[in-house]
Amino acid sequence: MTDANTADTGMPSQEKPKPNLARGLRTHYCGELTEAEVGQHVSVCGWVDRRREHGEHLAFVDLRDHTGIIQCVVDERIDVRSEYISRITGVVRLRPEGTANENLKTGTLEIGDCDVEILNRAEPPPFSLHDESIGGQQRTSTDETTRLRYRYIDLRRQRMQHNLRTRAKVNSCFRTSMERLGFLEVETPMLIASTPEGARDFVVPSRLHPNSFYALPQSPQIFKQLSMVGGVDRYYQIARCLRDEDLRADRQFEFMQLDLEASFVTHMEIMDFVNEAVLDATQAIMGWRPDAIPSISWHDAQDRFGTDKPDMRFGLELQELTSIFAETQARVFQAECIKGFALPGGSSLSRNRIDELTEKTKSWGAKGLAWFRVGEELSLDGALTRFMSQQEQAAITAALGASKGDLLLLIADKRAVANQVLGRLRLEVGEPDEKASRLKFVWVVDFPLFEGFSDDGAPIPAHHPFTMPHPEDLSILETFADGEASKLLGVRSLAYDLVLNGWELGSGSVRISTPELQRLVFSLLGMTDNEVEERFGFMVNAFKYGTPPHAGFALGIDRFVSILLEEETIREVIAFPKTQSGSDPLTGAPTSISPQHLRELGIRPSKPS
């Protein structure tokens, strides 16, 4: 956009001038008028944002489209109201001195001598389209169900327009990056075979095949791997995925992912591809490029941050304190593991707040929270000090790097519990470092291959059974014998997650491509040949006919965009989302269908209406 100064001096603007795309009933978009258009006869179209009377024969009509607002001066009495659809024709002119509106892109301009054509009337909108400043951002305070019921009005809000346009830009950037990297867009089917793995499938009754169902894809996983067998080499898709899971937390039944897979590459190249796509998109949206994305092993992430999705915007790393208490007399510290961190300035936390934190740690599974205020000369103040030696007190203060005024927070428990609880406590009390980047990406690599054992003693794959074991741990699998089950939990895989600000953005892995290794993993999982055939038969069969080594990744677009936009829920970046109960207040979905339709599908309800 040409700004006022450069237009006046005729100097080229830094930004490329926006081409005028207006056609049809309009010559210009409201928000794109500049001082270069002063004197021009123009037509603008849009919604009446506000109308102000000035005496009997003068009115100011603010006309709005998605680009912004322009003030129109109307010299006749016309009946236009808020949200009326109007076409206004007149001459662009500078506003009288002293009347410019600095909050408006077009604030120095108005259209005069206006001819107003009302193209459509409108009932008064059920809520205001003008956002308020909430938490430092322009937001609406209208309740969400009302917004969703009238989404076609809600979408006119400036913030929603910005969100939708940002989302489209992210998609566009992703596609540009993927195409530049030689990835081929392949559209995989929506009506697929139901699989017993993963979350619950949405299913679609087949009319032509009685008692049979298609499933909607939870991801294009199967087809992207088959496309590697099919020589596609590098596949990508911005893919619609669906899971019939309860909508606790911030989830939707359907979500979009940037899905990719490549052959003859390692996890290093996959991470490079994703880095490029994600950093390109971030730069396009934010105007700056984040630093190169660091990696941390799953084990280190657990150790240092107590989670597999660390928020790297602040420190508060967990410190190992176990050895300090090796000889302790304090019963609470006679535990497998003692860890903790120092919260700078945390001494000022009220006793109430500390009790609240203690309750939280208990609800997360800890026996309790040990805490100490750091006072003068690094003396500790807390209920447990009387059971502790001076050496112990001095050692934890040193190990946690504490200063006067800090609050020391310790958990003594099994290692997994201590990590998990401290990880959550860290998020509860931590604040993003103001000097740090607002966006902190991190790769978490070398996830465990197995996440535990099922009731029958078989290990449970942490991802899916096609995930490649870490080459350095292959020998554990190959020499594994009954009775050494716990060894399996230490086996790493070539699986990796991309984490942003503590959210898991996406996940990927190298896949097993040779039948020998696949057979070994299936057998460790306790699967018989029959079970393998039934559950993965066509995949295993496909892999016999020439399967290249391949690896892939999938990134959740809804979450990524909502973090870029600092939105609290992904529903703010989805044009037509469902409520938390999975319904759509606008269209009424889901609905009943006709008895005839049910008959054609060969199904009937098993519950009374």
Exposed/middle/buried for 394, CB within 10 Å: 0-12, 13-18, 19+?
A: middle
CB of 533 to a second copy, least distance (A): 12
- Least distance in angstroms from the C-beta of 601 to a second copy: 7
Q: Which of residues 58-77 bind a second copy (CB under 8 A)?
A: 64-66
Tokens representing 343?
């919260």
Sites for a second copy among residues 446-475 (CB under 8 A):
none
* Distance in Å, CB of 41 to a second copy, minimum: 17
The yes or no reply on residue 593 touching a second copy (CB under 8 A) is: yes
Site for a second copy in 470-529 (CB under 8 A): 513-514
User: At its nearest, how many Å lie between a second copy and the CB of residue 272?
Assistant: 8
Query: Among residues 272 and 303, whose Cβ is nearest to a second copy?
Result: 272
Residue 264 or 387: which CB sits closer to a second copy? 264
Phi, psi of 595 (to 5 degrees): -55, -35
Residue 149 in contact with residue 121, Cβ under 8 Å?
A: no
Residues 6 or more apart whose Cβ sits within 8 Å of residue 468: 493, 494, 495, 509, 510, 511, 512, 517, 551
Contacts with a second copy: how many residues (CB under 8 A)? 132
- Among 257-265, 313-321, 336-344, 465-473, the segment contacting a second copy (CB under 8 A): 257-265
- At 163, list the tokens: 């969100």
Q: Is the backbone peptide bond immediately before 590 cis, with ω within 30 degrees of 0? A: yes
602 binds a second copy (CB under 8 A): yes
Pick from 4, 38, 87, 290 the residue near a second copy by CB under 8 A. 87
Burial 531-556 (b: 16+ CB within 10 A, else e): ebeeebeebbebbeeebebbbbbbbb
**Shortest distance, position 219 Cβ to a second copy, whole Å:** 14
* Sites for a second copy among residues 292-311 (CB under 8 A): none
Tell me the closest approach of the beta carbon of residue 596 to a second copy, in angstroms: 10
333 secondary structure, DSSP code: G
- Could you tell me where the beta strands, DSSP code E, fall in 275-353? 295-297, 319-320, 337-343
For the CB of residue 201, give the shortest distance to a second copy in the complex, in Å: 8
Considering only residues 2 to 41 of the shown chain, the ones binding a second copy according to CB under 8 A are: 21, 23-26
Q: Return the residue of 117, 179, 484, 566 that touches a second copy, per CB under 8 A.
A: 179
Over the window 105 to 144, marking each residue x when it contacts a second copy by CB under 8 A and - when it does not, the resulting string is --------------xx-xx-x-------------------
Residue 515 CB neighbours (<10 A)? 12
Q: How far apart are CA 93 and CA 110, in angstroms?
A: 6
Minimum Å gap between C-beta 140 and a second copy is 14
Among 4, 85, 91, 458, binds a second copy (CB under 8 A): 85
Chain positions 378 to 407 lying near a second copy, rule: CB under 8 A, are none
Q: Does 249 bind a second copy (CB under 8 A)?
A: no
Residue from 240, 438, 464, 487 binding a second copy (CB under 8 A):
240
CB 62 within 8 Å of CB 70 = yes
530 lies in the site for a second copy, by CB under 8 A = no
Query: Which residue among 14, 350, 530, 591 contacts a second copy (CB under 8 A)?
Result: 591
Tell me whether residue 133 or residue 594 sits nearer to a second copy (CB atom).
594
DSSP, collapsed to helix, strand or coil, labels residue 378 as: helix
The CA distance from 328 to 321, in Å, is 12
Q: Does 187 bind a second copy (CB under 8 A)?
A: yes
Is residue 216 part of the contact set for a second copy (CB under 8 A)?
yes
Measure Cα distances from 503 to 85, 218, 226, 444, 450 in Å.
Answer: 42, 20, 30, 12, 22
Nearer residue to a second copy within complex by CB, 217 or 459: 217
Q: Would you count residue 188 as binding a second copy (CB under 8 A)?
A: yes
Residues of span 541-570 touching a second copy by CB under 8 A: 542, 544-549
Position among 101, 146, 266, 389 found at the interface with a second copy (CB under 8 A): 266
Question: Of the two residues 479 and 591, which places its CB atom closer to a second copy in the complex?
Answer: 591
CB of 224 to a second copy, least distance (A): 10
Q: Does 288 participate in binding a second copy (rule CB under 8 A)?
A: no
Candidates 135-143, 231-239, 311-319, 480-488: pick the segment binding a second copy (CB under 8 A). Answer: 231-239
154-170: b (≥16 Cβ within 10 Å) or e: bbbbbbbeebbebbeeb
* DSSP 8-state class, residue 369: -
Exposed e or buried b for every residue in 317-335, given b needs 16+ CB within 10 A? bbbebeebbeebebebbeb
Distance CA 73, CA 576 (A): 36
DSSP notation for 209-225: STT-EEE--S-SHHHHH
DSSP label at residue 511:
B
Nearer to a second copy, 39 or 537 (CB): 537
Closer of 204 and 476 to a second copy (Cβ): 204
Query: Could you tell me the CA-to-CA distances from 24 to 17, 43, 75, 83 in Å, in that order?
Result: 21, 10, 25, 20
Query: Binder to a second copy among 54, 130, 162, 209 (CB under 8 A)?
Result: 209
Q: Does 586 bind a second copy (CB under 8 A)?
A: yes
Q: Which is nearer to a second copy, 112 or 582 (CB)?
A: 582
The amino acid at residue 279 is L
Q: Would you count residue 590 as binding a second copy (CB under 8 A)?
A: yes
For a second copy, which residue of 36, 78, 94, 181 counts as binding (CB under 8 A)?
A: 181
Taking each helix axis from N to C end, the angle separating 351-363 and 415-429, rounded to the nearest 10 degrees, works out to 140
| DSSP-derived pairing of the beta strands 59-65 and 68-74 | antiparallel
Nearer to a second copy, 266 or 297 (CB): 266
Neighbour-count burial of 572, counting CB atoms closer than 10 A to its CB (0-12 exposed, 13-18 middle, 19+ buried): buried
Minimum distance from residue 478 beta carbon to a second copy (Å): 18
What single-letter DSSP state applies at residue 439? Answer: -
Piece of 209-217, 293-301, 409-417, 521-529 that binds a second copy (CB under 8 A):
209-217
Q: CA-to-CA distance for 354 and 371, rounded, in angstroms?
A: 8
